[in-house]
Amino acid sequence: MSAPPSRPRLALIGISGYGRIHLELARGCHDRGEAAIVAATVINPAEEAANVADLQARGCRIHGNYEEMLRAHRGEIDLCLIPTGIHWHARMTLAALDAGANVLVEKPLSSAMAEAGAVLARERSAGRFVAVGFQDCYDPGTRWLVDELRRGAIGEVRSVRFLGVWPRPRAYFLRNTWAGRLQQDGAPVLDSPLSNAFGHFVLLSLLFAGVDAADIAASAVEVELFRAHAIESFDTAVVALRTPRGQRLWFGASHASHVTTEPEILIEGSAGRACWRYEKEACIEPAAGARQCRPVLDQHATRRLMLAAVLARLRDPAAAVCTAAMAARHTALIETVHRAAPVTAFSAGEIVWSAAGTDSAQVPMVPGLDAALRTAYATQQSLRSGGFRAAV
């Protein structure tokens, strides 16, 4: 791969919604002289008139669709940012690679292993790289913990468990056309807490365990999937896996609660334990040795580190990024979860909606669910094993 110019040329596909975050990151790089924004796809220019004018003033060409942009700038884009809907991630990544660009695509890489495999193959044949926006992978404290676990600081990793509960109102699933969907425009979406909001922490759990996509495919799996919201997919899940090596992985997540439980990952080894807490700390506790901790940065800082790392990768192939191969582990888990069990809707009479605000601002809660999730997390068991019985 030829070396990029001193100021790498960036292109964005989308600047609205989550795309605003990537837009601001790119603007910061442009203003600091670290990169130049040369092209952007904007499908709603009237709504984004101010941002379009600002981009044009920076010398950026605006295009009405991504295919037109990639044709017009073929071989002239060093890094294409893709902060779009889940069902667009793989196809846009493939198109950007074909146009000669490296890629930073938002997580998840895809919801189907067939698509993830196509990206990996095209990445190799194109001689370009794909980085994925699992931003917590770029946090120094997180990377320290991964390295400590790999060197055996707590012995052999035997179990990893994750729990997170973020209440979400009805409006969360009305914010776009694919939220809560299983498919969109003929492509897989499989949107859920595990694939989207908590996808970062699912991938971290897999990295901490040292589990790859092949391990997931060969694992025994027990799955409970529920929905309180009027969606196709699930908003509450408990997933337990036992890998061929005997490792136990447990994931619990929900958007159907009135109480927040910030993401936490606990790791148990043959010679100690470790933990990772969202925007707080990463710690190891060896059975023979002192407890060590590192801070975990907030999401704004990790996003900035993410783009800096990806720009560094343009110059140095050894620069660490969250690769497509790493991200494919998450895809494998999500695909496995949806194959393992159908989604069960909670009974309407069992759901308690928050009273405050408009209808779209209301959040569902199922009595007993929060306590059952905490018990299941502590024991690494199913909700049923803890006595939770949902009326359906």
110, with CB counted inside 10 A (0-12, 13-18, 19+), is buried
Q: Which residue has the tokens 């025994």?
A: 220
The pTM score is: 0.96
Taking all residues of the chain, what is their mean pLDDT, rounded to a whole number?
96
Q: What distance in Å separates the CA atoms of residue 388 and residue 86, rounded to the nearest whole number?
A: 32
How many CB atoms within 10 Å of residue 378? 12
Closest CA to 132 of 145, 143, 116: 116
How many CB atoms within 10 Å of residue 368? 15
Q: What distance in Å separates the CA atoms of residue 373 and residue 346, rounded to the nearest whole number?
A: 15
pLDDT tens per residue, range 350-376: 999 998 778 899 999 999 999 999 999
Given a cut of 50, is residue 380 above it in pLDDT? yes
How many CB atoms within 10 Å of residue 92? 22
pLDDT tens per residue, range 31-74: 999 999 999 999 999 999 999 999 999 999 999 999 999 999 99
What's the confidence (pLDDT) of residue 1? 47
Closest CA to 163 of 256, 259, 263: 263
Average pLDDT over residues 75-95: 97
For residues 254, 256, 258 and 264, what is the CA-based torsion angle, rounded to 10 degrees?
0
pLDDT tens per residue, range 178-204: 999 999 988 999 999 999 999 999 999
Contacts of residue 111, Cβ cutoff 8 Å, sequence gap at least 6: 86, 87, 188, 189, 190, 195, 331, 334, 335
Average pLDDT over residues 237-258: 97
Given a cut of 90, is residue 391 above it in pLDDT? no
Q: How confident is the model at residue 386 (pLDDT cuts 50, 70, 90)?
A: confident
Side chain identity at 309, as an amino acid letter? A
Q: How confident is the model at residue 170 (pLDDT cuts 50, 70, 90)?
A: very high
Closest CA to 90 of 161, 179, 23, 187: 187
pLDDT over 70, % of the chain: 98
What's the confidence (pLDDT) of residue 392? 62
- For the chain, give me the number of helices (H) and strands (E)? 11, 19
Domains by residue range for the chain, with CATH: 9-136 (3.40.50.720), 139-299+323-379 (3.30.360.10)
